[in-house]
Amino acid sequence: MKRFGQVIQLQSGVLESYKQYHAVIWPEVAAKITECNIRNYSIYHKDGYLFAYFEYHGANFAGDMAKMAEDPRTLEWWAIMKPMQAPLDTRLPGEWWADMEECFHQD
Amino acid sequence: MKRFGQVIQLQSGVLESYKQYHAVIWPEVAAKITECNIRNYSIYHKDGYLFAYFEYHGANFAGDMAKMAEDPRTLEWWAIMKPMQAPLDTRLPGEWWADMEECFHQD
């Protein structure tokens, strides 16, 4: 299992809408997340920053992410979410949410 | 079980030192975290922001946090960590790390 921490910002004024969508995530999008071996997935907000934490239980993260990115319903979902998000200028090439560096872990 | 997401900033120039300390956390500090019912505790860094995720498995969070705050070795540890940290101006009264709002969770 590999843990991920990721960060992105929200455009101003969209927090309530973003939360509303995530309170009733589309079942097909939720199912695809599970199918792609993501577990224990949380998103937190403070001051316009979103932090995501999740655990990847598969054996091919790039492959699973590619599979997710081919799912029509997931693409529809992202087409609504992405305009609400403001990715960090410091994200790496190919990133949308920026991966964070793990500084500490204790089970 | 209750999940927490928290955020704080680092003072500039201290990241390597902060990571070094957390790579070899004092055993008594680690043990006190466990004794206080914290599990699956991760800290991530990006651009001077630290994001903490942990799961609380006890029945009295305030009581356990008070117990942690009375532990001499933990207080020694915090006396080194706190000057490296820059708490958010928007944190609530009584907070050091600022609690974040959960916007989404999927097991």
Reported ipTM? 0.96
Question: What pLDDT, in 10s, does the model give residues A66-107?
Answer: 999 999 999 999 999 999 999 999 999 999 999 999 999 999
Q: Which string of b and e fits B49-88 if b means at least 16 CB within 10 Å?
A: bbbbbbebebeeeeebeebbeebeebeebbeebeebbbeb
Sites in chain B below the pLDDT cut of 70: none
pLDDT in the model for residue A74:
98
Contact A44, A50 (CB under 8 A): yes
B19-32 pLDDT, tens digit each: 999 999 999 999 99
pLDDT of the residue at B63:
98
**DSSP for residue B106:** E
Kindly report, residue by residue over B45-57, the tens digit of the pLDDT.
999 999 999 999 9
A44 vs B contacts (CB less than 8 Å): 5, 7, 51, 53, 100-103
Report the residue of A3, A46, A77 to disrupt the B interface, i.e. the one with the largest count of B CBs within 10 Å: A46
User: C-alpha distances in angstroms, A47 versus A101, B20, B101?
Assistant: 21, 28, 10
For the stretch A24-61, pLDDT in tens is 999 999 999 999 999 999 999 999 999 999 999 999 99
pTM over cut 0.95: yes
Shortest distance between the Cα of B9 and any Cα of chain A, in A, equals 12
Cβ-defined contact of B46 to A88 (cutoff 8 Å) = yes
Q: Do B100 and A5 touch (CB under 8 A)?
A: no
Chain A hits for B50, Cβ within 8 Å: 103
Domain boundaries defined on chain A: 10-91
